[in-house]
Amino acid sequence: MARAASSSSRLTVKGRATRARIVDVAARLMYENGAANTSLEDVRKAAKASGSQMSHYFADKRSLIRAVIAHQADAVMADHHDPAVGNLDSVAALRAWAQRIVEQQRAQNFEGGCRLGSLAAELVESDAELQADFAAGFERWESLLRRGLLTMQQRGDLRPDADPDALAYSLLAAAQGGYLLTQAHRDARALEASLGAAIDHIELLAIDASERSPGSRDQSEIG
């Protein structure tokens, strides 16, 4: 049985930087070529790491893949904390988010798809532990969308009977399906249409300022 790799929490500053560099390179290679077509030796050479460094930080390829899944989930979350997309707590912010996704795909010539979703499509059925890693990554994404929708509802901008959980799932499912079709067609129309339809549905559940009850106030005003 392969020995356990060193925990990143126990590494020196230099060790953490080396491990992060290896994971970053592995994530890029797996995104471009697929996990099956990326060997540990490919990663070692591209990261300019030694064999002893590779075996010190990663017991085997599977442990490196798990680190890449976490890395890609972190990258997705970092994208969503860009000021350009705000807190995703309004229809306008959601439309800006959708447009940003479309523009990112155009910038990479519609190749690769979602950095987390494309890896999941290849590996999610591999074993239960990887499946749980992917589920946790997508749950972080769903939670971020859900928080924005809950904020809208608490502020009185979204109908009380709207379901933030279901709406968050619909947004993420629209994005993932749109990524795949856009990748297949090398065209943004499917991604624009799927995200647009999901956001249009949310807009139908939105409450115009003129329709709000007198008792409805922004939560920031309460307290």
Contacts of 222 (CB under 8 A, 6+ apart): none
pTM equals: 0.85
Give CA angle at 112 (51, 32), nearest 5°.
20
Query: For every one of its 223 residues, what pLDDT tens digit does the chain have, with 9 covering 90 and above?
Result: 344 455 556 778 888 999 999 999 999 999 999 999 999 999 999 999 999 999 999 999 999 999 999 999 999 999 888 787 789 999 999 999 999 999 999 999 999 999 999 999 999 999 999 999 999 999 999 999 999 999 999 999 999 999 999 999 999 999 999 999 999 999 999 999 999 999 999 999 998 755 655 555 444 444 3
| Domain ranges (residues) in the chain | 1-59, 70-210
The DSSP annotation for 66-124 comes to HHHHHHHHHHHHHHHTSTTTTTS-SHHHHHHHHHHHHHHHHHTTT-S--HHHHHHHHHT
Protein fold of 70-210: Tetracycline Repressor; domain 2 (1.10.357)
CATH topology assigned to domain 1-59 = Arc Repressor Mutant, subunit A (1.10.10)
